Amino acid sequence: MLEIIQLAVLNDNYIYLIHDPISNETAVIDPAVCQPVIDALAGKKWSLNYILNTHHHNDHVGANLALKEKTNCKILASAYDSHRTPGIDTLLNDDDTFKLGEHLIQVIATPGHTLGHIVFYFPHSKLLFCGDTLFSLGCGRLFEGSAEQMWHSLQRLKELPKETLIYCAHEYTLANAKFALSLEPDNEALQIRFQQVKNLRLKNKSTIPSTLKQELETNPFLREDSLAIQHTINATNSQPVNIFKQIRELKDNF
């Protein structure tokens, strides 16, 4: 059983430490800053073996070089971002696999937020570390890629098992829930989830992870087939990708 530690850093980032107790190997995903990672490793008496980067933005790779210098770990990231990922050792491409101990990790390319964005899926544990592609009740802004690319990326993630735990890189859930409700106010599952999220944030608690099942029921960016959403945005005769594009544009201006 993998052990996962979630570190809240900066304004709303999450860093994840993943430890396999059998092999004693540890990976960190998207280390924005160094010291919280070092402190967490010391507290657990773990050694860092790998940094896994989902994309090149500084709030995901900011501690790469400092952690590599302190721990001699290896950095794995997208081959597309080889020129803009600090300290990269291993270039990853779509459908590549590697292991943390005996735990298989599958790389899924998810261009959209950035062109080189990748996510890390643990098929046996059903864990998805998705960076800024899929958020709890949201998805990433389109900084480099197109709406078509992001839509196709999310379609791939929708095919994962419903019980998959979704570990995204930011605490955006409350704001995302308010937007989702503006599109689908009568969605009962969304209404319940909004109350749960609001209660957690009032206590300054994390809303992550969610499950893919929850996202499919409540996340507007995975629900372009919802007649209620289509009606709200006057897009009942539009193609799914165009509905997604319209939702993304509405969120950008919400």
Give the integer Cα–Cα distance in Å for 215 and 220. Answer: 8
Average pLDDT, the chain: 97
Give the integer Cα–Cα distance in Å for 150 and 140. Answer: 9
**In one letter, which amino acid is 219?**
N
Domain count, the chain: 1
CATH number for the domain that contains residue 42: 3.60.15.10
Give the integer Cα–Cα distance in Å for 213 and 96. Answer: 25
Q: How many CB atoms lie within 10 A of CB 47?
A: 13
Give the integer Cα–Cα distance in Å for 77 and 173. Answer: 26
For 27-52, the pLDDT digits (tens) are 999 999 999 999 999 999 999 999 99
Residues 6+ apart with CB under 8 A from 90: 74, 75, 76, 77, 98
Look up the domain containing 194 and give its range.
3-252
**In one letter, which amino acid is 79?**
A
Contact 181, 190 (CB under 8 A): yes
Identify the pLDDT of residue 61: 98
Give the integer Cα–Cα distance in Å for 224 and 221. Answer: 7
Q: What is the mean pLDDT of residues 96-114?
A: 97
Is 148's pLDDT higher than 90?
yes
Identify the pLDDT of residue 237: 86
For 107-140, the pLDDT digits (tens) are 999 999 999 999 999 999 999 999 999 999 999 9
Structure tokens at 160: 């994962």
For 214-252, the pLDDT digits (tens) are 999 999 999 999 999 999 999 998 999 999 999 999 999
Residues designated catalytic: 55, 57, 59-60, 113, 132, 170
Q: What angle do CA 198, 202, 204 make, to 5 degrees?
A: 115
Give the integer Cα–Cα distance in Å for 184 and 222. Answer: 13
For 63-85, the pLDDT digits (tens) are 999 999 999 999 999 999 999 99
Q: Rounded to 5 degrees, what are φ and ψ at 229?
A: -65, -45
Q: Give the global pTM.
A: 0.97
